[in-house]
Chains A and B, each alone.
Chain A
Amino acid sequence: MSPTDTVPAGVEEVVTTTPPVRPSTLLVRALRLWRTRIGASFGLLLVLVAILGPYLAPHSPTDFVAIPNTPPGGAAGLLGTDYLGQDVLSRFLYGGRGILVMAVVSTGIGLLVGVGIGLVAAYARNAWDDVLMRGMDVVMAFPEIMLALLAVSLVGPDPWVVIAAIAATTAPRVARVARGSAQPVVERDFIEATEAMGVSRLRILTGELLPNILAPMMVEASLRLTYSIGVISALAFLGLSSDPNGPNWGTMIQQNQIALAVQPWGALMPILAIALLTIGTGMFGDGIARTAAGVDRGRAEG
């Protein structure tokens, strides 16, 4: 038993031994659950705010609008001003895009690399399996935010450094689940049959194994996206974003936390936005997990 074989996450591990379900079918079935619908609507709402926000903002995010920390009303606008006298509403509308893009890109890279490593390890069935997975264990010995902090401390808070660090923490966790889900598939007869037909290894990995693990990978994707959003906004909150006064929900919280008692909106809006966005992706993922596992069996057999 390896130290990290247990699922650290809230979502139960799903191992499909039934024929693969098409992702679209799974999605439609999952949307019958209330939690999936609520999650999808929260997620969509915040994605819309993040993408369309900059077009709707009444001011530039860095314009001086009124005296710092003015509560809402009058010249200070719908949500008042922040610690520099900038418009909270405009900064809020601008502040989601960067987080969302970075989270999606880093999670995407992490998923691709992780699924690749997981499938290769599961199909190898030899020493490579052990070498790859022990390597993943080493990377997983760092809490998710640690690797990002290590990288940022040396290279600086460049967006690509953060993306690479988060992809590097995502990949091993994905690889573990991908390998776990692919292992029972590798043992099945149809894989042996395709091998006998002389199908290339790459085709077996992408054409035969991958479709069989799509359901757990969809669950994993939403789970990882949830964590990536958390880590990226946390880094900005710790003061580690490339633009110290850029409109970013994490940065906004850091800047306006001190004024919570006087003008709560500057910190409260981005706090609520991050909370709703992560609740959305989390509930959506849980809905898919429940649908993929069939009935709620507590924990799928591993």
Chain B
Amino acid sequence: MKIHLAKKWRSKLAALPESSMGAQHVDIFLKDGQVIRNAAVFNGEDCETDREFAQTDIQDIRLHED
């Protein structure tokens, strides 16, 4: 599924390097302590993930490190 991220994450991701042209791989840290690993984000706003979550569930987003 594709989840649209809030603008604040877009500006944060813009300062981080891409994983390939047009894409970044990130870890999404949720407020309940769970982490969605290695999710693809396009244009800092369109997140592809297998798991559904709400914008308000996000604690932080960081670049995924292999």
Does A pair with B?
no
Residues of B within 8 A of A (CB): none
